[in-house]
Amino acid sequence: MAITNGYATLAQFKSWNKIGSTDADDDTVIESCIESASRFIDIETGRTFYARTETRKYSVPSDLRALVLDDDLLTITTLTNGDGNTIASSEYNLWPVNTSPYRRIILKSASTTFWLQDSSSNVDYVISVAGTWGYVAATPTDIYTICLIAANAYYKRRAGESTSSVARVTAMGVVLTPQDMPGIVADTIRSYKGLT
């Protein structure tokens, strides 16, 4: 199995866990754990931490200047208005202004360009944004680390092991409750949540 858009590699996982075996079946399990951990991070944060090239469609916004994006944008290759005309980069600004990823495309106030419907007066999904999408082009160190931690939790779970637990004081004394994911994974994911 090959890992698709994983935030860690098989070699990194094995080095991190000091695994010296070359068992192909075990390697396949590890690769599956890494890919599962990577998609878990994507789902929980609502973001992807790799760059991907695609075209996304948007409806004409009620604010004829600002187009709010539903994903993190790194670069625009082609911006096509609802009428089929390309909008030049000199006609818009990306927001936030001083950092990426971008979450809005704002037509300049001095521009005579507005977001337009298509020739059939359709406003739904007529604007297309072709470009590079993702939170960053290369995986951040903390995402790499929590991918290893989460993949390790998946890997150990197959043998019934828990990688972390929470201690709770009850009337019966201290009770350790296993967690599916270590707390550091949840804390790091929380810091990346939110698409606006």
- What is the per-residue DSSP string for 35-101? HHHHHHHHHHHT--SS-EEEEEEEPPPSSSSEEEEEEEEEEEEEEE-TTSPBPPGGGEEEESSSSSS
Which of 85, 118, 133 is the C-terminal boundary of a domain? Answer: 133
Give the number of domains in the chain. Answer: 2
Alpha carbon separation from 56 to 34, 47, 48 (Å, rounded): 28, 15, 15
CA distance 164 to 152: 11
Does residue 43 share a domain with residue 57? no
Does residue 163 share a domain with residue 144? yes
Asked if residue 5 is part of any domain, the answer here is no
Does residue 126 share a domain with residue 67? yes
CA distance 97 to 99: 6
Tokens of 189: 């994911």
Under the banding of pLDDT at 50, 70 and 90, the label for residue 165 is very low
Its domain, for residue 76, covers 52-133
User: Which of 117-126, 151-160, 161-170 is predicted least confidently?
Assistant: 161-170
Write out pLDDT tens, residues 45-99.
999 999 999 999 999 999 889 999 999 999 999 999 999 999 999 999 999 998 8
pLDDT mean over 12-30: 92
CA distance 130 to 40: 26
Asked if residue 2 is part of any domain, the answer here is no
Under the banding of pLDDT at 50, 70 and 90, the label for residue 169 is low
Write out pLDDT tens, residues 114-140.
999 999 999 999 999 999 999 998 899
Which pTM does this prediction carry? Answer: 0.80
Does residue 128 share a domain with residue 65? yes
